[in-house]
Amino acid sequence: MPNIRHATRVELDTIIDWAAREGWNPGLEDANAFWAADPQGYWVATEDDALAAAISVVRYGGEYAFLGLYIAEPAFRGRGIGFRLWRHAIESADGGTIGLDGVVAQQENYRKSGFSRAHANIRYGGTVNVTEPPGIDLVDAAPVHAAALIDYDRRFNPARRDAFLHEWTKQLPTRRSVVLLRDGTIVGYGAIRACREGFKIGPLFADSETGADLIFRKLAAGVKGARVHLDLPEPNASARALCARYNMKPVFETARMYRGRTPDLPLARIYGITTFELG
């Protein structure tokens, strides 16, 4: 029988390397933000002290969690280890709502575990060449914006993400976050980060299509000539139009699925989800 326990911070780095090997293209410094979100949210199964499988069920508050990073090492597949870990991780959510982004091939299995499909999420990608838009109301996120940004982010998510956002929106050589202001009030924000291949924008939340376009151009202009990916909710036609405008094409699809109550999220203002791994 495998031993199931919480992952260590060092093991999270290994799990993210596994994700890269699977072709999921994680960000170069995602681990710090992932860990900050919920240090108790990462689980591993081991056999003879070797890592056999991993999964995350990151809890945001007491009633919502997001499942991701469900991976088994190839040598341990087909032995039921991953499924035992899956059941243990589901139980760790204590009956609260759990979200996930499921690849097409696994969606039927997730349904058997009580998950229901809410909508598709589609990854668009392409080489984007844009000029940074002028204007003093589109600025780099700074500590002075932190409290208002966290409050704004809550409108687009089932729970607050204070600790996660503190790390995710840091200005680093590998990542940048910007906020769009109107009369000093945040009306949109976005982040871009370097990944194993190219860059990903996420989240991209905005109160208007024009605002989303401004934020997108501000972020993409900083990596001009590189490949950029944006993961968007398929029901948002304006988000799909934004990608078409900048010659980005669909490259990958998942289904956002929930076990428990499906959150009522403003998909029309979600132009890019944060990450397939943590929601």
Tokens of 236: 């948002």
Element housing 183 (H / E): none
- Give pLDDT, residue 61: 86
Q: Do 3 and 46 form a contact (C-beta atoms < 8 A)?
A: yes
- Give pLDDT, residue 57: 97
Distance between CA atoms of 14 and 201, rounded to whole angstroms?
A: 23
- Give pLDDT, residue 254: 96
Distance between CA atoms of 177 and 115, rounded to whole angstroms?
A: 32
- Give pLDDT, residue 1: 79
Tokens of 239: 């988000």
pLDDT in tens, the chain (279 residues): 789 999 999 999 999 999 999 989 999 999 999 999 999 999 999 998 899 999 999 999 889 999 999 999 998 888 889 899 999 999 998 889 999 999 888 899 999 999 999 999 999 999 999 999 987 799 999 999 999 999 999 999 999 999 999 999 999 999 999 999 999 999 999 999 999 999 999 999 999 999 999 999 999 999 988 999 999 999 999 999 999 999 999 999 999 999 999 999 999 999 999 999 999
Place of tokens 């809410």: 118
Burial class of 163 by CB neighbour count within 10 A (0 to 12, 13 to 18, 19+) = middle
Indicate the length of the chain as a whole number: 279
- Domains in the chain with CATH codes: 3-118 (3.40.630.30), 123-272 (3.40.630.90)
Beta strands in 104-245 (DSSP E): 116-127, 138-140, 175-182, 185-194, 199-206, 227-233
- Give pLDDT, residue 183: 95
Q: Do 65 and 96 form a contact (C-beta atoms < 8 A)?
A: yes
